[in-house]
Amino acid sequence: MKRRYLLILLLAVFWAAFSTPAPAAPVRIAYSSISGAMLPLWVAKERGFFDKHGVDVEVMYVRGVSVEALLAGEVQFVRASPPSVVRSTLKGADLVVIANTINVPVFSLMTSAEIKTPEDLKGKKIGVTNLGDSPDLVLSLILEKWGLQRSKDVSVLAIRGGMPDLMLSVTKGFVDAGMISAPSNLRGLKLGLRELIDASTLGISYLNSPLSTRRSTIKTQRDMVLRVLRGYHEGVQATRKDRDSTLKILSKYVRVDNPEILSEVYQIYGLKHLQADLSVQPEAVKGLLKGLGAEAAKANPASFVDTSLLEELETR
């Protein structure tokens, strides 16, 4: 009789162990650069806004291959290079932009101290993080504005690593200039570099900071996508309104302790250029398509964006 009860008990334990559902895997959002442009994402994660809306989010730094990770299903969202997302879409991938936070190009062309005018760039080497990514496209727009030609007037080189590595390449003279975002450009100023131009002053609309996913993810997990957008939107609001908390989060992710640099990054990305909502401006998409070349410029900007999610949030 005791053996019978023991057998029943073991079967019950076995059944409980294998019938308990496994915890759901976290939703992964990849970001592709250590830049103040990522502030709303970091704030949403650190302040628990995704958790508040019932979604377990993991944010992860994936440089260079974040779009590939999205297409492979390793992550569900990307805050990645806008050109990479659009190029993949043009080639038939089911990627789509669902939100955006900045609609101007926020990069600075940082140079060695002896370069004082655009003319001084002739014969010089300019570094970018990746050929074909946003800094490179924005550089092309700047060179066009100044009447300078790639290869003929300047050499453009991809510098292995991220923005901090590019900044160091300029300070050490491996290249003469670089397209750099904050906080790396501000650290460069402290080390004697010159800001030859702030691209955000060019009057160009540009899809600088999109959040993207796959159309198939929206189709099969629409409620989850909406929850992520709610948390992300609260991250935007908190970034704009809570300076002290945001500065602490910024310091953690960019690994900068200098209060002056942190304050300036916040001014740029938390106030000056950060829009209050997540809307995607058609003119910003057009600006990006123009930078991708004549064929891309002919494409319909609306084909790269799903506005239905934000519209649904506004009606709830």
Q: How does the average pLDDT of the chain come out, rounded? A: 90
Q: What is the CATH number of domain 27-103+207-315?
A: 3.40.190.10
With beta carbons less than 8 A apart as the criterion, state whether 60 and 22 touch. Answer: no
DSSP per residue, 273-295:
S--SS-PPPHHHHHHHHHHT-HH
pLDDT value of residue 294: 84
Region 47-69 average pLDDT = 93
For residues 285 and 301, what is the distance between their CA atoms, to the nearest angstrom? 6
Residue 299 φ/ψ, nearest 5 degrees: -70, 155
pLDDT value of residue 64 = 76
pLDDT of residue 6: 42
**For residue 149, is it left (φ>0), alpha (ψ between -120 and 50) or beta?**
beta
Q: List the structure tokens of 20.
A: 């308990």
Residues in the chain: 316
Per-residue model confidence (pLDDT) at position 202: 87
Q: What angle do CA 117, 123, 125 make, to 5 degrees?
A: 90
Closest CA relative to residue 165, chosen from 95, 63, 69, 81:
63
Give the pLDDT score at 133.
Answer: 86
According to the model, what pLDDT value does residue 200 have? 92
Q: Give the residue extent of every domain in the chain.
A: 27-103+207-315, 108-202
**Of 310, 307, 306, the residue nearest 94 (C-alpha):** 306
Average pLDDT over every residue of 148-172: 93
Q: Do domains 27-103+207-315 and 108-202 have the same CATH topology?
A: yes
The DSSP symbol for 305 reads: B
How confident is residue 24, by pLDDT bands cut at 50, 70 and 90?
A: low
Share of the chain above pLDDT 70, in %: 92
65-74 contact pairs (CB < 8 A, 24+): 66/30, 66/31, 66/32, 67/95, 69/30, 70/30, 70/95, 70/212, 70/213, 70/214, 71/95, 71/214, 74/28
Half-sphere exposure of residue 143: CA atoms within 13 angstroms, side-chain side? 24
Say yes or no to pLDDT of 231 above 70.
yes
Partners of 108 in beta bridges:
180, 198
Are the C-beta atoms of 215 and 95 separated by less than 8 Å?
Answer: yes
Superfamily classification of domain 108-202: Periplasmic binding protein-like II (3.40.190.10)
Contacts 24+ apart (CB under 8 A), 147-151: 148/118, 148/121, 148/122
What's the pTM?
A: 0.83
Rounded to 5 degrees, what are φ and ψ at 301? -55, -35
Q: How far apart are CA 61 and CA 41, in angstroms?
A: 12
